[in-house]
Amino acid sequence: MSLTTFSPLPETRSGTGAPTSDLPKTPSLSKVTVPSLLEKKLLRQPISVVTAYDYASARLVDEAGLDIVLVGDSLAMVMQGHENTLAITMEEMLLYVRGVRRALRRALLIADMPFGSYQIDDREGVVNAVRFVKEAGAEAVKIEGGLSRCSLVRRLCDAEIPVMGHIGLTPQSVHRMGGYKVQGKTIDALEQLRADALALEAAGCFSIVLEGVPRELAGMITRDLRIPTIGIGAGPDCDGQVLVLHDMMTMSFSAPAKFVRRYADVASLMRDALVTYKHDVESRTFPSDEESYHLSRETRELLAEKGAVIG
């Protein structure tokens, strides 16, 4: 059993009522939409994005007022323990997206299309993207790749499905790249990525993730485009930033990449809590009498009359 009712959105974040912390106030509590993200770029307001894969963490992200929750295929690694993102299937992604959907009221929900769900042909890509919207409540999908994905982006836009592009270090290309390496470091490579970004924008993407590229290139692409860029390992000049929740919370088990900032050490908190719980169980100090249910006095008396031994 778990109590999961929604409490009202805290008014303090919109500036009314007593502030509960020193955190900056969220400018608006209205629903984040594709047009509102484009407006943020025009207004030069940074866009905050984080991954989440389950109801509880997605709910915390939404309550904290972040703009976008991405159910990234990074879940194959951080939730399922795979060594890369390639193994996760459509059915698995749908399951996670549905749980996150139930947690969100304000943030925009983007589903990452898994490897193999859109690479074979555009028709299959559209069919799978429709499943994310129809069966799991996603409001947009994300696909990896540049020029070669533009026909699919157009088909998705024709189907009324907003698309986020993703270029630079694209984890689904790990075998082609020969590992996770910073992209766009030569003149040819950076010009290719600039062309990819412009082509994705022209095809209809509403935003593009720039992953693992030099800061200077991310700044150039951000200035080239009307749509917002969301950086991860791409420096501070993008229109927004995204981090993998498990990395920023220290819930992943390898050394973090250079661009990861650790905002909490959840693994240490959980380890300490689990060791304490084990100790309490083994020393019989958990649960206490106060943490136990009791028979009524009448029932205990009836049992006593029957000669029952009550512990």
Task: List residues with catalytic annotation.
Answer: 211
Stretch touching ligand KIV by CB under 6 A, among 22-30, 67-75, 90-98, 292-300: 67-75
User: x/- site string to ligand KIV, residues 96 to 115, per CB under 6 A?
Assistant: ----------------x---
Quote the radius of gyration of the chain (alpha carbons, Å). Answer: 24
Report if residue 139 touches ligand KIV, rule: CB under 6 A.
no
Considering only residues 18 to 57 of the shown chain, the ones binding ligand KIV according to CB under 6 A are 51
> Which residue, among 171, 176, 214, has the nearest Cα to 193 in the 3D structure?
214
Closest contact distance (angstroms) between CB of 170 and ligand KIV is 8
Q: What are the contacts of 123-129 at 24+ separation with CB within 8 A?
A: 123/155, 125/152, 125/155, 125/156, 126/152, 126/155, 126/156, 126/159, 126/161, 128/90, 129/156, 129/159, 129/161
Which 244-263 positions form the footprint of ligand KIV (CB under 6 A)?
244
Residues from 184 through 223 that contact ligand KIV (CB under 6 A): 209, 211
Q: Are 138 and 172 in contact (CB under 8 A)?
A: no
Does 73 engage in binding with ligand KIV (CB under 6 A)?
yes
Listed ranges 53-61, 69-77, 93-101, 256-264: which one lies at the site for ligand KIV (CB under 6 A) = 69-77
- Phi, psi of 47, rounded to the nearest 5 degrees: -105, 125
How far is Cα 137 from Cα 122, in angstroms, rounded to an integer?
A: 21
Closer of 26 and 207 to ligand KIV (Cβ): 207
Give the binding-site size for ligand KIV (rule: CB under 6 A).
12
Angle value at C-alpha 264, between 270 and 3, nearest 5 degrees: 55
CA distance 29 to 124: 36
**Phi and psi angles of residue 292, each rounded to the nearest 5 degrees, phi first:** -115, 155
x/- string (CB under 6 A) for ligand KIV, residues 279-308? ------------------------------
Q: Which of 52, 68, 72, 152 binds ligand KIV (CB under 6 A)?
A: 72
In the complex, which residue's CB is closest to ligand KIV? 72
Task: Catalog residues that contact ligand KIV under the rule CB under 6 A.
Answer: 51, 70, 72-74, 112, 166, 209, 211, 232, 242, 244
